Structure 1
Amino acid sequence: MGASIVNDSRPTSIRIFLADGTPDGLRLIDKSNWTGRAVVVSRSEIERALARPELGQPGVYVLVGTAEDGAPMLYVGEADTLGERLKQHVAGKEFWTRVVAFTSTNEGLNKAHVRYLEARLLQLARQANQWLLENGNKPTPPPLSEPDRADAEWFLDEMRLIFPLLGIDAFAAASGQARAHAAADTSRDEPPMLYLAERGGEGRGREVADGFVVLEGALARAAEVDSIHDHMRDMRQQLVDRGVLVTDEHALRFTQDFRFSSPSLAAGVLVGGSANGRICWKDRAGRTLKSLQDARAGVA
């Protein structure tokens, strides 16, 4: 199955319950007309979560953290008893700082379902190639009946609506972000195509809700300026290591669409140094991203 875009533009209600009354503490997330529930907790507060009845059930979970070089990293897993598995990860995995665990409020998930969800999440994360994956295995989805598979895919779609609310965009391919962003705004078809051509970098891209997508085929300058920031240098090396950037004669070519946290970071990777993305990225008429944003906001 491919990585479909989860965006049908239907209004919905999602409730986040702060179980201990603090925004960064234990959180329970429910969605209208959904039998699932997400439990979100930091590693430092995991003991409180382990006492929750939700973690005594089967479910699928994501450990979230950063790699040594600062890149966002995650681990996807499943368990018959979520709490027992998470206890093992407290002792066995160092990188993670937060866990998001999904289970059912009506005991609707069994072992086959959660194994299927784990395999599909890993499949989506690898296809998107936006975050580092700590998983070494590549499980295949277990065989399910057609009704059970449909139920599992529906559950997965609901999960994928919740992940971005938690700052986790690892399961959405960058190629779908601009279309999804446009689908949520009926006043325009899609964000305008923007172009960069300076200092040896050349490429196309589009704004998305939480960043900027550089499109496949863009060329980044191979050499870096002496004043490049460590973060920019590390980002370029990460993309090379993951095969997002490959050597193409005297440049580095993007092998896929890739989502950056800002237009300036996207521009900086292309030019090999600091860059103001709001000025560097322009539409076909030569208007800068800054001028387009100002016009949308009604700024004279």
Structure 2
Amino acid sequence: MRGLKIYLADGTYNGTVTMSSDSSKISAIRVAKENIQDYENELDGPGIYLLLVGSDAVYVGQTGLDTIQRRIMNTHSGDIDASWHTALGFKFTDSTISSNELQFIENAMCEYVHAHFNKCLTTSPQKANCTKTFRKRHYHLSGVQVHTCENYIQDINFYINVFPDGIFTSADNEEKDKKMLHLAGRKVKATAYVSDNQFIVCKNSEFSTTETPSCPKYVHERRQELIAEGKVNDGRFIEDVSFGSPSTAAACVTGGSANGRQMWLYPDGKSIKEKEEFGR
């Protein structure tokens, strides 16, 4: 790709990475969830985005008439919002690109993810429909539009392949070793991992500011301690916090009774209880 420009925010591919090219109408950015708000300009436009979960699962989305930043921060289906940690945004300079063209490109990227990663978390289009034949038949684009979309897809694939160790960094692989989990089906979004027989709720996880009437006394007291110690502030964990069990962790996060073995889920959607029962 001619005139390729790469900026590494911390000097490595593990931090924020931005890319552009004189020969492409697409720019790319890889940025961690907690830094999304700092890159409004790079994400202020239509395009395609990938949300990375754990170290081997990817959600593919497209903006429609919205911008990448706003679409990423809007609500997604299932537990995606609680579990993704990094976004790859591919912004198009052509602001007139149509919704059908974006859906065509999204479909192609879903096909790519199904082929290259352990799990594609996008449920629509379904895997069986992520094919070149389906795209050309389903999205009602002219021959010129199809050709343009296929050029865009080639550029996105090029940007993805620039990452020397892939879009999942060594830091993401460390998360896999930590057995990353997320809280299932709750308004409060939290992530955690198991380490040395302790259950660790991660920094930046949400913390319910209210408690249910059935909240156990010991949970109420532990929640008050976390606030008093400054480990929780304004409904969010300020640092990683360890708990003796997944149930205590879930109860403290949600402010009520909780069965953590059922509520904490791995990236593949299985609970701790299911993993223990099936031995994997």
TM-score class, shorter: 0.3 to 0.5
TM, length-normalised to structure 1: 0.45
Larger RCO: 1 or 2 (CA < 8 Å, sep 6+): 2
The TM-score normalised by the length of structure 2 is: 0.48
